[in-house]
């Protein structure tokens, strides 16, 4: 686990420092991992497998790659047993994912309780979906970005793209100012 003492800036780590942290640890992953109680990060293969979702007890899906050119899950695909929330995000450093941080975090927060299980997925399950989960931990559980990364990395290899890291870093600084 990386601490602030090993980084260049104690306030909020630089993108370069965050990338160094993310390069560490295991570099392979499962199709889905539970990274927080009842909160899972996965890829599109698990999201498109209704039997796997049923076995996992998934009741809510956040698709961080929703849209015509992305993963095609929707209310019709999942039926009445799974609540669906789509985030039409491109995995591009220039895409503004930050506009979805608060609405997605609110959806996850409202969905989670002891009887529900939420899957947040994108195509590969390492950038868009991970960024949404990191934002959720920062917004609703008062984690710093570094703490959120370390928490998720205990269970899954993640690597948000550089643009998303910049946006998460900006969120981190904003949340630190208000606390």
The catalytic residue positions are 122
Task: Note whether 50 and 81 are within 8 A (CB).
Answer: no
The pair of three-digit structure tokens given for residue 62, joined into one six-digit string:
């956040």
HSE of 156, CA atoms in CB hemisphere, 13 A: 29
Task: Note whether 151 and 135 are within 8 A (CB).
Answer: no
Classify burial at 8, counting beta carbons within 10 Å of its beta carbon; exposed 0-12, middle 13-18, buried 19 or more: exposed
The pair of three-digit structure tokens given for residue 6, joined into one six-digit string:
């090993």
């Amino acid at each position: 686990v990386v601490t602030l003492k090993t980084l260049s800036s104690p306030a909020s780590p630089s993108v370069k420092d965050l990338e160094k942290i993310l390069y560490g640890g295991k570099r392979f992953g499962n199709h889905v991992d539970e990274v927080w109680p009842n909160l899972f990060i996965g890829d599109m293969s698990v999201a498109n497998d209704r039997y796997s979702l049923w076995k996992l007890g998934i009741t809510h899906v956040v698709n961080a790659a929703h849209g015509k050119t992305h993963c095609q899950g929707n209310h019709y695909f999942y039926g009445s047993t799974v609540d669906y929330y789509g985030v039409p995000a491109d995995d591009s450093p220039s895409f503004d994912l930050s506009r979805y941080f608060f609405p997605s975090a609110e959806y996850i927060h409202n969905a989670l309780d002891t009887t529900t299980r939420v899957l947040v997925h994108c195509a590969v399950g390492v950038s868009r979906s991970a960024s949404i989960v990191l934002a959720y931990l920062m917004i609703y559980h008062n984690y710093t970005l570094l703490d959120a990364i370390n928490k998720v990395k205990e269970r899954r290899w993640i690597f948000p793209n550089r643009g998303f890291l910049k946006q998460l870093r900006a969120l981190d600084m904003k949340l630190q100012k208000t606390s």
